[in-house]
Structures are given as C-alpha cells and as structure tokens.
C-alpha cells in the first residue's frame, strides 16, 4: 500500500531539470516509492501569485520526503523543502560547456537525484 509514509515529492522543476527528475521518479517507483513531480514557478517570480506556491506547499506537506531540483541557487527553496528535504542545485555560475556535461558534473543525473530523494526519505522516517 502506498501512503505518505512511502512517498516522495519533487518540486520546482521548470526546464532542463524535468527530464532527469522524471527518470529519477522511474528509478524510485521501481523501488516501491510513490513519487509526485510538481512544477512550481520560482518563489521570487513576480509572474505567478504566491498563493499558488503556498497551495502547492500545503499539498507537499503530506509527503514523506521532499526534493527540489533547481539548476540555480538553492537558497530560496530551503523554506519549501523543510528540515528533511534535499536540494539538488548549482551554487555558482560562469562555467561553460555542453549542458549534458555540466549536468553530469554537478549531479543533475537521475541517479544522484534519486539518491538525494532516498536521503530525504530516510530523514523523514
């Protein structure tokens, strides 16, 4: 039976983060974890009402674990993932290379995202 006790939510996916996160979802689902992938606009974005973000946060509160995947800085996401959450992020800028090489180098791979999800799941339980 899949409940909040064996669930993980991924959030804050907007572009290039989506594909590896969906692949991580497949890996985790094969391990028996229920995984939701939710796309939420950036918290600092003026283009979407903050109420939508708050509504999604309420939905995420029922999750057993939370992971944010952000090809940018993590700072805005800590308040949304909570104490047990994990964030896959890039904390600097200025490096130039093919996107797939940079994603591999900085951990935006399905395997690393799934590992961060497992860490969050373990912390939440």
pLDDT of residue 20: 93
Q: How far apart are CA 42 and CA 71, in angstroms?
A: 12
DSSP 66: E
Using DSSP's 3-state secondary structure scheme, residue 83 falls into coil
Please state the pTM of the whole predicted model.
Answer: 0.79
Q: Rounded to 5 degrees, what are φ and ψ at 10?
A: -105, 140
For the segment 60-78, the average pLDDT, to the nearest whole number, is: 77
The percent helix, strand, coil of the chain (3-state, each to 5) is 45, 15, 40
Alpha carbon 73 to its chain centroid, in Å, reads 13
Do residues 124 and 40 make contact, with C-beta atoms less than 8 angstroms apart? no
DSSP 96: -
* β-bridge partners, 66: 9
Q: Rounded to 5 degrees, what are φ and ψ at 109?
A: -110, 155
Q: What percent of the chain has pLDDT over 90?
A: 30
pLDDT of residue 81: 83
């Amino acid at each position: 039976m899949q409940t909040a006790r064996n669930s993980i939510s991924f959030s804050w996916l907007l572009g290039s983060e989506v594909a590896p996160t969906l692949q991580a979802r497949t890996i985790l689902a094969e391990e028996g974890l229920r995984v939701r992938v939710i796309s939420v606009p950036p918290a600092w974005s003026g283009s979407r009402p903050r109420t939508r973000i708050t509504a999604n946060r309420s939905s995420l509160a029922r999750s057993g674990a939370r992971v944010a995947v952000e090809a940018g800085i993590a700072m805005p996401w800590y308040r949304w993932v909570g104490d047990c959450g994990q964030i896959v992020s890039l904390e600097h800028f200025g490096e130039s290379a093919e996107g797939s090489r940079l994603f591999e180098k900085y951990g935006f791979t399905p395997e690393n995202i799934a590992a961060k999800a497992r860490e969050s799941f373990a912390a939440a339980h």
